[in-house]
Amino acid sequence: MRFKNLLIVISTIIVCLVTIVSLTDIPTFKISFEEFERIIEETNSLNTVTAYYLNYRLYDTIFEIFVFTLSIYGVVFFLNSVPSIEKHVPFNDPVMNFYSKFAFIISIVAAIYIALVGHLSPGGGFVAGIVAGTGMMIVSLTKNIDEIKDQFKIENISSYEKLILLSVILLTIFPVLIGKRSFQNFLPLGKTGRILSAGFIPLFDLLIFLKVMFGSWSITFYFIKHRGVV
């Protein structure tokens, strides 16, 4: 057993050293200022990162959403087949109760803002969804399972997720119905710097925000519910 542990440690060190050496030899990648200007002109998105993954590489983002969806269903399916042997005991501290509600409100407001301006500044749907999901997790630590189910409508979250996924799929194929290429930005680009600009990029950011929020919350809820088993 000791030899096996030593072998694991040595292998881990070798992998780390190889990774470090490889990172020192990464070629320099530069994007010219003219390239940034071209991206902004074509998408009206001031955040060029968002422009890439929700415009030029939208198909890649769609598959990431599919992978995330499968991960959620995998966790829910596995935990639903495992009995809950320990009842979730919420925090009873008054200070924790107050600040958890405060953190929840702040996280939801911040998440909505991050999702809406993701094409104008750093942020976007993925980040916003995690922020909101974290706020929901914090406030859930002060509630029992029945309160969580009642206030967050757990039975409806799966339906919301499916509806959001369907909306994402329809948005990607809708351009074909109006004579354009699939995955093409078909909405008006608007004026650069405004929230209602960059075509369908803000809409995708909003849908991704909701998808990640509900998905991360579903995973969190089932881990809370089956605490003591996993």
Residue type, 211: K
| pLDDT for the residue 178 | 80
**Arithmetic mean of pLDDT, 24-47:** 76
| pLDDT for the residue 209 | 93
User: What's the rounded Cα separation, in Å, for the pair 194 and 45?
Assistant: 9
CB 142 within 8 A of CB 91: yes
| pLDDT for the residue 205 | 92
pTM of the model: 0.79
**Arithmetic mean of pLDDT, 206-228:** 83
Q: Which segment, 21-30, 126-135, 143-152, is predicted with the most confidence on average?
A: 126-135
**Arithmetic mean of pLDDT, 65-78:** 86
Of the listed ranges 63-72, 194-203, 215-224, the least confidently predicted one is: 215-224
| pLDDT for the residue 3 | 66
DSSP letters, 101-163, are HHHHHHHHHHHHHHHHTTTTSS--HHHHHHHHHHHHHHHHTTS-HHHHHHHHTHHHHHHHHHH
**Arithmetic mean of pLDDT, 184-213:** 88
| Reported confidence tier of residue 28, pLDDT bands at 50, 70, 90 | low
**Arithmetic mean of pLDDT, 52-73:** 86
| pLDDT for the residue 208 | 92
Question: Could you tell me the two tokens for 27?
Answer: 């070629």
| pLDDT for the residue 15 | 79
**Arithmetic mean of pLDDT, 149-160:** 76
Query: Any idea which residue has 């979250």 for tokens?
Result: 157
pLDDT surpasses 70 at 228:
no
| pLDDT for the residue 207 | 92
